Amino acid sequence: MTRLPVDSPAPLIAAQDLRMTYRVGRGQVLRALDGVSLSVQRGEVLGLVGESGCGKSTLGRCLLRLVQPSGGRVVFDGTDITTLPERRLRPLRQEMQMVFQDSYAALNPRRRVGDLVAEPLRVHPAPGGGWRSRADIAARLAELMDLVGLPQAALARYPHEFSGGQRQRINIARALALSPRLVVADEPVAALDVSIQAQIVNLFMDLRDRLGLTYVFVAHDLAVVRQISTRVAVMYLGAIVELGEADAVLHRPAHPYTAALIAAVPEPVVRTEGLPPPLRGDVPSPIAPPPGCRFHTRCPVARDRCRVDPPTLRGLPDGREVACHYPLVET
Ligand SMILES: Nc1ncnc2c1ncn2[C@@H]1O[C@H](COP(=O)(O)OP(=O)(O)OP(=O)(O)O)[C@@H](O)[C@H]1O
């Protein structure tokens, strides 16, 4: 079902009925995204949560058109980029960047940090046209090191000389080189020690304030998501099941799946009394999702209707949206 983004008229990025299917042999089709609609306002941090395989990374990649969605639309700053030819997409790509989980894999180990961070500045023309001079690039590199909290001397060194947290700072510097407006961060702290995670999350928040960035922040760790997000989208089997203000979603979950994710946190950082027991069993296959509500096979409060009638996202009085016939908060 198509649901138009309902937020303010000019989100920085919006997805409408986004679909991504993969053929996985023997005529089978895997629905990694099954009709996702959302919008992200300027300056907002949208946290994307859900178990492994629910489609978070696929959504992030489709939003930036790093992969071509199978259906639906992505609109960036008013331009429909879904089928925009690469030539016309290229200038917009500078404004949308991605930071990945694996800080090492994203960096060529044989090149110095200065080269790695300068690369986007060398391959993309300057805003007014023409190529950046060496002096301009050097000045921008110095600025970027300051922004991400690395010493200037880092520019002359190689990625393996840094810790995981420092390497993630290098990746962030590279992503910021062209002054993007949107950053999609895909589990950017998941591979880091907990103490370092907090520093990198703080860096993301600081950069957002200083540069007016907008984030889509993918993370399975609810504590991280709670710290950084203004809104949260909870995904299950390729669909959004709950979407709303971070405080509401994480403190008074409306969807039994959200509640179960919260209850599964070993040292709960959010309210857990009265929530259903932690999730049992695995996520069903996205090749053959359950009929009706796709969560009914694991839902502690499912009733007969849930087995046959797929719920669509609908608004609750507090402004959030939930895809559940029997939400846990009053409607
Ligand atoms: N290139 C591909 N070919 C086939 N299936 C794919 C491909 N990429 C992703 N998938 C499948 O699409 C579904 C969604 O994957 P995705 O990586 O987006 O989930 P995720 O929520 O980001 O999980 P994780 O946290 O493990 O990265 C999964 O079932 C995955 O196996």
Residue 210 maps to which CATH number?
Answer: 3.40.50.300
Confidence of residue 282 (pLDDT cuts 50, 70, 90): confident
Which two three-digit tokens encode residue 140? Answer: 């921008």
Q: State the distance from the centre of ligand 1 to the C-alpha of 240, rounded, in angstroms.
A: 15
**Could you give the 3-state DSSP secondary structure of residue 24?**
coil
**Is residue 4 a part of any domain in this protein?**
no
Q: What is the tally of structural domains in the chain?
A: 2
Its domain, for residue 139, covers 105-179
**Is residue 239 a part of any domain in this protein?**
yes
**211 and 78 both lie in a single domain:** yes
Does 286 sit in the ligand 1 pocket, CB within 6 Å?
yes
**Degrees (nearest 5) of the Cα angle 235, 55, 78?**
85
pLDDT digits (tens, 9 = 90+) for 128-172: 888 999 999 999 999 999 999 999 999 999 999 999 999 999 999
**224 and 114 both lie in a single domain:** no
**18 and 146 both lie in a single domain:** no
Which two three-digit tokens encode residue 188? Answer: 């950017």
pLDDT at position 5 is: 46
pLDDT digits (tens, 9 = 90+) for 39-89: 999 999 999 999 999 999 999 999 999 999 999 999 999 999 999 999 999
Q: State the distance from the centre of ligand 1 to the C-alpha of 319, rounded, in angstroms.
A: 30
| Predicted confidence (pLDDT) at residue 275 exceeds the cutoff of 60 | no
pLDDT digits (tens, 9 = 90+) for 209-238: 999 999 999 998 898 999 999 999 999 999
DSSP string, 91-137: HHHTTEEEE-S-TTTTS-TTS-HHHHHHHHHHHS--TTSSPPPHHHH
**41 and 160 both lie in a single domain:** no
| Contact (CB, 8 A) for 47 and 228 | yes
pTM of the model: 0.92
Q: What is the mean pLDDT of the chain?
A: 91
Residues 230-255 as b or e (16 or more Cβ within 10 Å = b):
bbbbbbbbbbbbbbbebebbbebbbb
**Is residue 19 a part of any domain in this protein?**
yes
**Is residue 88 a part of any domain in this protein?**
yes
Burial class of residue 148, CB neighbours in 10 A (0-12, 13-18, 19+): buried
Does 32 sit in the ligand 1 pocket, CB within 6 Å?
yes
Q: Is the dihedral of CA 256, 257, 259, 260 positive or negative?
A: positive
pLDDT at position 4 is: 40
pLDDT digits (tens, 9 = 90+) for 86-105: 999 999 999 999 999 877 78
Domain boundary residue, one of 157, 179, 201? 179
Does 101 sit in the ligand 1 pocket, CB within 6 Å?
no
Domain boundary residue, one of 124, 152, 179? 179
Which two three-digit tokens encode residue 210? Answer: 């200083």
- The ipTM is 0.97
**75 and 208 both lie in a single domain:** yes
Domain boundary residue, one of 151, 179, 207? 179
